[in-house]
């Protein structure tokens, strides 16, 4: 374990210029499909994340006007609206970028990191790292289609034998890309093992545009370590936000020597927070779809803040089709979790 007192987080509090877009600090929320929708991004930004990114949008579906894509690219009113596109057809990527920019996107990100078979099977996401010429044709198409800055998110490579992220990053920079984000795993690792933070240094050394380091960060100490080991300019945090949309903001506040805003500090505030998130999702998606989509968030909030909840209470919340019932049970469950914690600490 390194001496944490020697690691420096302060850089994360500084603003960052991404192709002319001013980002207020260097702690970003990662794009996560099915998770970082508008209600989630609004919360993460309000807590102090420097940048938030839409879930990936399939450029082919966007170009064909498929229902549901509109919600994913819709401007959320935040100062910097960043939309991520996935795909493998240059014409679709260019058209998708034009549509997103037309909706007010300030930055377009290209997904070259998604490991899912559904995506790589269509030669999109991290499969693009197997064919850099094709990857470059997509980058050039997007850069040529829009005036706004274009960024790329990638992994270290397809597998251990093909760690070509430095080359992709360099070629992307030459094609006009303004920033790259690197998840310190290969595609074939999916999410196994531990992200290799030192390997990200090779990408940092290959380019002069900002490099964002990503993978397994969830605390100020981990943010300081990934910065130290990668030399990156910024840090992106994904799964540590489950049940805690304030994670990036809280690390950014620590870096600035401040306290993050809006973190619920009592069982009552936590219940209000979770219920407001739930209601925002129902309002956005409608009751039927919202109920289903909100369940994973409710599950994470319960795991994280009410782990002692009885399994029947938990099950009732996660299976109910009646929002009023869910809300009443959420209040009970956070209150009893707080009371049992009080009892334990008094014992």
Ligand X SMILES: Cc1cc2nc3c(=O)[nH]c(=O)nc-3n(C[C@H](O)[C@H](O)[C@H](O)COP(=O)(O)O)c2cc1C
The residues binding ligand X (CB under 6 A) are: 30-35, 55-56, 84, 111, 113-114, 153, 183, 214-217, 237-240
From the CB of 313, what's the least distance to ligand X, in Å? 26
Residue 84 annotated as binding site = yes
93 alpha-carbon distance from chain centroid: 21
From the CB of 69, what's the least distance to ligand X, in Å? 13
| DSSP symbol at 199 | T
| DSSP symbol at 50 | S
Which phi-psi region, left, alpha or beta, contains residue 116 (left: φ > 0; alpha: ψ -120 to 50)?
beta
From the CB of 342, what's the least distance to ligand X, in Å? 32
Q: Which residue is nearest to ligand X (CB)?
A: 238
**How many residues are recorded in the chain?**
347
Residue 192 annotated as binding site = no
Q: Which member of 86, 114, 195, 213 is catalytic?
A: 114
Residue 239 annotated as binding site = yes
Residue the block writes with tokens 């996107």: 105
The residue among 7 and 240 lying less far from ligand X, judged by its C-beta, is 240
Q: Is 114 a catalytic residue?
A: yes
Strands 16-18 and 150-157: unpaired
d(CA 60, CA 87): 7
d(CA 233, CA 27): 10
Residue 114: count other Cβ atoms within 10 Å of its Cβ: 23
The residue among 109 and 275 lying less far from ligand X, judged by its C-beta, is 109
The residue among 129 and 309 lying less far from ligand X, judged by its C-beta, is 129
Half-sphere exposure at residue 154, Cβ-oriented, CA atoms within 13 angstroms: 31
The residue among 116 and 328 lying less far from ligand X, judged by its C-beta, is 116
From the CB of 143, what's the least distance to ligand X, in Å? 18
d(CA 267, CA 305): 9
The residue among 242 and 334 lying less far from ligand X, judged by its C-beta, is 242
From the CB of 114, what's the least distance to ligand X, in Å? 5
d(CA 149, CA 136): 16
Q: Which positions make up the binding site?
A: 84, 153, 183, 238-239
Q: Which positions make up the binding site for FMN?
A: 84, 153, 183, 238-239
Active-site positions read 114
């Amino acid at each position: 374990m390194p001496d944490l007192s020697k690691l420096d987080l302060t850089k994360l509090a500084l603003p960052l210029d991404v192709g002319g877009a001013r980002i207020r600090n260097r702690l970003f929320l990662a794009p996560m499909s099915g998770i970082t929708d508008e209600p989630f991004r609004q919360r993460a930004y309000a807590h102090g994340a420097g940048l938030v990114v839409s879930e990936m949008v399939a450029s082919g579906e966007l170009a064909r006007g498929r229902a549901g894509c509109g919600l994913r690219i819709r401007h959320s009113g935040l100062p910097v609206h960043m939309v991520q596109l996935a795909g493998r057809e240059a014409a679709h990527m260019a058209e998708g970028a034009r549509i997103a920019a037309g909706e007010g996107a300030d930055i377009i990100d290209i997904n070259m990191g998604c490991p899912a078979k559904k995506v790589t099977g269509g030669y999109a996401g991290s499969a693009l790292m197997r064919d850099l010429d094709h990857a470059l044709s997509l980058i050039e198409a997007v850069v040529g289609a829009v005036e706004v800055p274009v960024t790329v998110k990638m992994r270290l490579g397809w597998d251990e034998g093909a760690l070509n992220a430095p080359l992709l990053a360099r070629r992307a920079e030459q094609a006009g890309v303004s920033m790259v984000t690197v998840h310190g795993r290969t595609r074939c690792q999916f999410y196994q093992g531990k992200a290799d933070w030192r390997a990200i240094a090779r990408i940092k050394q290959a380019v002069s545009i900002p490099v964002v380091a990503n993978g397994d960060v969830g605390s100020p100490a981990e943010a300081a370590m990934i910065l130290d080991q990668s030399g990156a300019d910024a840090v992106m945090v994904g799964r540590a936000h489950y049940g805690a949309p304030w994670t990036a903001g809280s690390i950014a506040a620590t870096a600035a020597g401040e306290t993050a805003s809006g973190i619920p500090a009592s069982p009552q505030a936590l219940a209000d927070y979770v219920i407001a998130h739930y209601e925002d999702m129902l309002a956005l998606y409608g009751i039927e779809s919202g109920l289903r989509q909100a369940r994973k968030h409710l599950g994470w909030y319960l795991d994280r803040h009410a782990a002692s909840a009885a399994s029947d209470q938990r099950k009732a919340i996660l299976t109910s089709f009646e929002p009023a019932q869910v809300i009443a049970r959420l209040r009970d469950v956070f209150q009893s979790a707080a009371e049992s914690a009080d009892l334990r600490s008094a014992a």
